[in-house]
Amino acid sequence: MEPSAGSSADSARLDDSASLASARAQATVSAAATSPVQSGDASGVAGLQAPADPVASLDGSAISSTPAGPGTSGTVTSAGQAAPSSLATATEPAGERAATDDQASLAGRWLRRRRGSTSRMAQPMTSKKAGVLLTVLGVLALGCAGTTATLADRALSAAGAGASASAPLIMPAPAQAAGFPRRYLSSASQSALLAIAQFRRRFAALRGGSTAAYPAALYAEPGRIDLASDTGAWVIYLGYNAPAGLGDPAGTTGRLMARLAGPTPARSWQVPAGSQGGAARCMIAMFGLTRMSVCGWATEDTVAAVMSPAGDTSADELAALIPAMRLDLQPG
């Protein structure tokens, strides 16, 4: 009998199955031959074999570790389907995956360092360190307080010394003061002589009737003319070194101005006393028939006054001469 067409088709399918089985067997033998582990080394084979995966496949069956045939990639499930390998399912290139791994490694190291520094910063200060720190701060505070007290004591001492100890007026009066040469009364007018006499008497009242010698001088003002006598302008100076303290310089200058003004009240005002300290005041007052510019200064134990005709030297000009004249009349 001739074989039928169905028998021929069945034979072809059997031949194909046999060929597929033979190819699978040869692939298995080739894989075993190329493996670095000897067939007799059971431990090496066990190390290469993947452990059973308990994770279920999508259809509920467990994934088998049986190698796939030559026509598939990955492993064959119990349902006969080939599971794709991890290399086949990877969607990113190997270079990008390595860069991602490096970035993850760097990020991990940075986080560990950050946690370490944060933990070190958050560590509480021990009692020993706190005690040392408090001791150092206490020593620094004591040092600052001591330095401040020393500086304050020196400043108060210097202020007290400047207020209580003043240089005396030179006795007798120097030959010149502020560049003005000393002169005498031989050429003075009668009105000038009367004003000078009244000035001496009023100043003597402030000395308390003392007969002790005191500095006195008449100084010429070069380049200026006394209009009353048609001679050179002049400035008269009187001073007194008190044997005892005179009290507050401001109060002393106030009493001085009141004494020198005489029976006619005059308004006085405060002016700079100069580098020698103390207090100073000036005013315009009548002496005889002449208006006079008068200024005076005082310290704790000295008092002095200067006078010049107002027509020759204004009170403001005389006030400006006080600091310069005191450098010669009361140096130190």
Give yes or no for residue 182 having a pLDDT over 70: yes
Give the pLDDT confidence score for residue 96 in this predicted structure. 56
- Do the beta carbons of residue 284 and residue 293 sit within 8 Å? yes
Give the pLDDT confidence score for residue 57 in this predicted structure. 37
Give the pLDDT confidence score for residue 189 in this predicted structure. 79
Q: How many angstroms separate the CA atoms of 263 and 284, rounded?
A: 13
Looking only at the bridges linking them, the beta strands covering 180-183 and 216-226 are: antiparallel
What's the average model confidence in pLDDT over 249-260?
A: 96
Reference 297, options 314, 267, 312, 318; nearest CA is: 318
Which carries the bigger pLDDT value, residue 241 or residue 245?
241
Helix, strand, coil % (nearest 5) of the chain? 45, 20, 35
**Mean pLDDT in the chain?**
72
What's the average model confidence in pLDDT over 226-241?
A: 87
Among 73-87, 185-199, 260-274, the range with the most confident prediction by mean pLDDT is 260-274
State the pTM of this model: 0.52
Among 80-94, 207-221, 229-243, 271-285, the range with the most confident prediction by mean pLDDT is 271-285
Q: Is 274 left (phi over 0), alpha (psi -120 to 50) or beta?
A: left
pLDDT bin (cut points 50, 70, 90) of residue 206 is confident
Give yes or no for residue 305 having a pLDDT over 90: yes
As given in the structure block, the two tokens for residue 308 are 């010049």
What's the average model confidence in pLDDT over 182-200?
A: 85
- Do the beta carbons of residue 326 and residue 191 sit within 8 Å? no
What are the φ/ψ torsions at residue 137 (nearest 5 degrees)?
Answer: -65, -40
Q: pLDDT tens digits, residue range 118-177?
A: 555 545 667 777 777 778 777 677 766 666 555 555 544 444 444 445 799 999 999 999
- Assigned CATH class of 176-329: alpha beta
Chain mean position to CA 272: 37
Give the pLDDT confidence score for residue 5 in this predicted structure. 44
Which carries the bigger pLDDT value, residue 53 or residue 170?
170
CB neighbours of residue 241 within 10 Å: 19
What's the average model confidence in pLDDT over 97-126?
A: 62
Q: Where are the domains of the chain?
A: 176-329
What's the average model confidence in pLDDT over 78-85?
A: 41
Give the pLDDT confidence score for residue 116 in this predicted structure. 59
